[in-house]
Chains A and B, each alone.
Chain A
Amino acid sequence: MKLNRRTLLKGAAASAASIAMPQVVMGADNIKVGSIIDTSGIFDLYGKPMDKAVTLAIEEINESGGLLGRQLEKIDYDTQSDMALYTQYAKKLTRSDKVDVVHGGILSASREAIRPTLRKSKTLYFYNVQYEGGVCDRNIFCTGITPAQQAEVLVPETMERWGKKIYTLAADYNYGHITAKWIQHYAKENGGEVVQTDFFPLDVADFGATIAKIQDAAPDMIMSALVGGAHLSFYRQWAAAGMNKKIPMASTTMGVGNEHVVLTREEGDGIMMVYSYSKELDTPENKAFLSKWDARFGNSDDLHELAVATYQGMHLWAEGVRKADSIDREKVIEALESGVSFDAPTGKISLDAKTHHAVTSVHLIEVGDQKMNVVKSFGERQPVDTQGVCDLEANPDDNQQYEISI
């Protein structure tokens, strides 16, 4: 190329611009990260911290020099808790923005709305939320925990402490039913039994009759997979009857929406659960993460499991790009499958090549004084539920969400 006055001027202008704006916002050479999350509407409680997590991860990566010498650029859309908008924005991200990767989706319905679009357009997709398991698609990586990863630890640990007779309460939809099955599975495997399982529609807010029924069944412990604001009433009414002093309780769902802070000490103390993250985790990675979060956003009051999983999903993807030394989708997938890991706030996390799900640490947690205190940690838990139905190594063209039968 001949150097003339025009190109020289262009170059000068560009370098002047990059001096003025050290973090280039728009640029042809940036790696484009698409983010598609509900940051308004009824799911904003989940979505807003997830969006912050994407921002934090991108800024961290850019500060350390970006990926492949290029800066990351965040292109985000607020889906407003409206499933119809997911399809629309996914098309926009792939067709006009031409992003290199998409992170996002909260509900399973939102994931299933955009998964086909991203697969068809060959855009790598990261779904970073705790969900019911079973998705088998080479184009997607699921970095959240699945029911078996929780139940596998929670059921035997609590049975050992409290006894063998379990009474299960679960939300009456896909997630609740699958979780209830896993609870039953692991109870049997460990020599216990589930004496009764009750399912509750999401708007049920009155549990008087159930509390009477539970007393009649006299179980050693309660397993709760109740979901949402109305179901929170159960913990209240349970404590109001004084039952929390008599029958101990464990939960696979409490804590994601920071329920342990909403409940009073008397109502919440002693409830046990299993998650991949708790703010009380005493590891250097978690402390560093929390101080970064605080420094960037002021406080970490709204931080929850899903946001941490999103942060980790971003970094796992970055590790994949580094290892592949390319942004090409196929090369990144191969790099991620070959085993990348990240020393995450939750503990070491890696990806399972067969299922594209996370191999992650989980922690047995007991609520005390409105905090999620870590009792015991379990490293490298495999996504056993999805592994039972999905094998992308043998079957790379598979593309569906399996219903996991146990």
Chain B
Amino acid sequence: MDYAAVVGVEIFYAVAVLVLISAGLAVIFGMMRVINLAHGEFLTLGGYAAIVSHQAGVNIYLAMLVVAPLVVAVFGVLVERLIIRWLYGRLINTMLATWGLSLAMMGAMTMIFGNTTTGIATPIAGFTFGRYQLSGYNLFVILMAIVVAVGLYLALKTTRAGLIARGAMQNAEMTSAFGYSPSRVYLITFAAGSALAGLAGGVMAPLVGLNPASGANYIAKAFITVIAGGASVVSGALASAGLFGVISQTFTLLTTPAVGEIALLVVAIILLRLLPTGITGRFFKGRV
């Protein structure tokens, strides 16, 4: 019984990690149709922001939850103004540009922080559950994922800004006719997506050994989650993160971690063969 609870927490945790690392990408891709291949480096930048500011004496929660998203959001604004905004509607070109950006960021971070692994300790101690030991920080990650998903849903569904954003994505000219500037909406959306990436990077920082190439560990999973999720930002990411998290953890527990990774990829391939527009292309259509 205790074991079932421990396994349950681990599965929820895996799902939460997928939700967190893909939320920023989902916003940018789902709403703007921009494939940000530098997403992994955005996460890494968030991680470094959290670690560096914490080492400089900032409270760890402040570093993870405020400093990291802020730094990456500011960086996102720069990227949008300098690179992305010239390339809207040109999918291949944005991919090429952001891929170049990803390489440049990796190089720059190597120059600044060195080609070494750094990290900070988790701020929450583990606790005993029955005869098992559970990581308190995993529960915190799950909580953060819920906050992000609910917050994103409410922001898009119930606020006026969310409404305008969705409107601009569907029909930029009409939004413009109503007196809103699509260019500003794009900028804010990109900044929000970047902030979410920074948040994920910050929250994951205490759990990983961070180095300039760390983004590569996450980028593939984040992309699979977003592409398989389909057009709807929140429900798509939740549905596919839930599916992939459960599958990979179940296989990892029953067999080996290598099989867990393979199972995730196989399921993703089958899913995209059957549902080329993603889960929300068929189910939950039209949801946020």
Residues of A whose CB lies within 8 Å of any CB of B are 42, 44-45, 172, 198-201, 203-206, 208-213, 215-216, 229-233, 236-237, 239-243, 246, 257-259, 262-264, 266-267
Are B133 and A242 touching (Cβ within 8 A)?
yes
Q: Which of B208, B256, B258 contacts A236 (CB 8 A)?
A: B208
Are A240 and B257 touching (Cβ within 8 A)?
no
What are the 10 tightest A-B residue pairs by CB atom distance, in nearest-first order?
A: A242-B126, A232-B209, A241-B135, A240-B122, A209-B252, A264-B121, A241-B126, A208-B10, A233-B208, A240-B135
Q: Which of B14, B115, B132, B206 contacts A208 (CB 8 A)?
A: B14
User: Given that A44-B115, A209-B252 are known contacts, is A242 also in contact with B127, CB under 8 Å in the complex?
Assistant: yes
Residues of B whose CB lies within 8 Å of any CB of A are 3, 6-7, 10, 13-14, 17, 115-122, 124-128, 131-138, 206-211, 213-214, 216-218, 249, 252-253, 256-258, 260-261
Q: How far is the CA of A230 from the CA of B17 in the complex (A)?
A: 15
Q: What's the nearest-Cβ distance from chain A to residue B202, in Å?
A: 15
A selection of 7 A-B contacts at a CB cut-off of 8 Å is A199-B257, A208-B13, A215-B131, A229-B213, A232-B208, A242-B127, A262-B117
Q: How far is the CA of A81 from the CA of B253 in the complex (A)?
A: 35
Q: How far is the CA of A262 from the CA of B120 in the complex (A)?
A: 9
Instruction: Name which of B121, B210, B216 has the most chain A CB atoms within 10 A of its CB.
Output: B121
Q: How far is the CA of A266 from the CA of B258 in the complex (A)?
A: 29
Are B10 and A229 touching (Cβ within 8 A)?
no
Known pairs A199-B257, A236-B206; list 5 more (Cβ under 8 Å). A229-B214, A231-B209, A240-B122, A240-B207, A259-B117
User: Given that A232-B117, A232-B119, A242-B133 are known contacts, is A209 also in contact with B10, CB under 8 Å in the complex?
Assistant: yes
List chain B residues, Cβ under 8 A from A246: 133
Are B126 and A243 touching (Cβ within 8 A)?
yes
Q: What's the nearest-Cβ distance from chain B to residue A154, in Å?
A: 23
List chain A residues, Cβ under 8 A from B131: 215
Q: How many A-B residue pairs have CB under 8 A?
A: 127
Are A243 and B121 touching (Cβ within 8 A)?
no
Q: What's the nearest-Cβ distance from chain B to residue A282, in Å?
A: 27
Are B133 and A241 touching (Cβ within 8 A)?
yes
Q: What's the nearest-Cβ distance from chain A to residue B109, in Å?
A: 13
Closest B residue, CB atoms, query A266: B121
User: Given that A215-B132, A240-B207 are known contacts, is A229 also in contact with B127, CB under 8 Å in the complex?
Assistant: no
List chain A residues, Cβ under 8 A from B7: 209, 212
Q: How far is the CA of A109 from the CA of B7 in the complex (A)?
A: 39
Q: How far is the CA of A213 from the CA of B206 in the complex (A)?
A: 22
Q: Which of A172, A209, A216, A230 contacts B249 (CB 8 A)?
A: A209
Are B134 and A236 touching (Cβ within 8 A)?
no
Are A203 and B135 touching (Cβ within 8 A)?
no
Q: How far is the CA of A213 from the CA of B217 in the complex (A)?
A: 22
User: Given that A209-B252, A212-B10, A241-B133 are known contacts, is A229 also in contact with B117, CB under 8 Å in the complex?
Assistant: yes
Q: How far is the CA of A200 from the CA of B115 in the complex (A)?
A: 23
Closest A residue, CB atoms, query B121: A264
Q: What's the nearest-Cβ distance from chain A to residue B261, in Å?
A: 6
Closest B residue, CB atoms, query A172: B258
Q: How far is the CA of A211 from the CA of B14 in the complex (A)?
A: 13
Are B258 and A45 touching (Cβ within 8 A)?
no
List chain B residues, Cβ under 8 A from A213: 252-253
Q: How far is the CA of A258 from the CA of B119 in the complex (A)?
A: 13
Are B133 and A198 touching (Cβ within 8 A)?
no
Q: How far is the CA of A206 from the CA of B17 in the complex (A)?
A: 9
Q: Which of A172, A237, A263 contacts B207 (CB 8 A)?
A: A237
Q: What's the nearest-Cβ distance from chain B to residue A244, in Å?
A: 9
Are B253 and A212 touching (Cβ within 8 A)?
yes
Are A211 and B209 touching (Cβ within 8 A)?
no
Are B116 and A45 touching (Cβ within 8 A)?
yes
List chain A residues, Cβ under 8 A from B218: 205
User: Given that A215-B133, A264-B121 are known contacts, is A45 also in contact with B115, CB under 8 Å in the complex?
Assistant: yes
List chain A residues, Cβ under 8 A from B260: 209
Q: How far is the CA of A203 from the CA of B214 in the complex (A)?
A: 9
Q: How far is the CA of A243 from the CA of B122 in the complex (A)?
A: 13
Q: How far is the CA of A230 from the CA of B209 in the complex (A)?
A: 6
Q: How far is the CA of A243 from the CA of B133 in the complex (A)?
A: 7
Q: What's the nearest-Cβ distance from chain B to residue A142, in Å?
A: 26
Q: How far is the CA of A343 from the CA of B151 in the complex (A)?
A: 65
List chain B residues, Cβ under 8 A from A42: 115, 213
User: Given that A205-B217, A215-B132, A241-B135 are known contacts, is A233 also in contact with B209, CB under 8 Å in the complex?
Assistant: yes
Are B217 and A230 touching (Cβ within 8 A)?
yes
Q: How far is the CA of A330 from the CA of B122 in the complex (A)?
A: 57
Are A236 and B207 touching (Cβ within 8 A)?
yes
Closest B residue, CB atoms, query A197: B256
Q: What's the nearest-Cβ distance from chain A to residue B204, in Å?
A: 9
Closest A residue, CB atoms, query B11: A209
Q: How far is the CA of A263 from the CA of B120 in the complex (A)?
A: 8
Are A262 and B10 touching (Cβ within 8 A)?
no
Q: Which of B3, B135, B252, B256 contacts A242 (CB 8 A)?
A: B135
Q: How far is the CA of A259 from the CA of B128 in the complex (A)?
A: 27
List chain A residues, Cβ under 8 A from B127: 242
Q: Which of B206, B210, B258 contacts A201 (CB 8 A)?
A: B258
Q: What's the nearest-Cβ distance from chain B to residue A82, in Å?
A: 15
Are A210 and B135 touching (Cβ within 8 A)?
no
Are B258 and A237 touching (Cβ within 8 A)?
no
Closest A residue, CB atoms, query B127: A242
Closest A residue, CB atoms, query B18: A206
User: Given that A205-B217, A209-B249, A230-B209 are known contacts, is A239 also in contact with B256, CB under 8 Å in the complex?
Assistant: no
Q: How far is the CA of A240 from the CA of B13 in the complex (A)?
A: 14
Q: What's the nearest-Cβ distance from chain A to residue B184, in Å?
A: 37
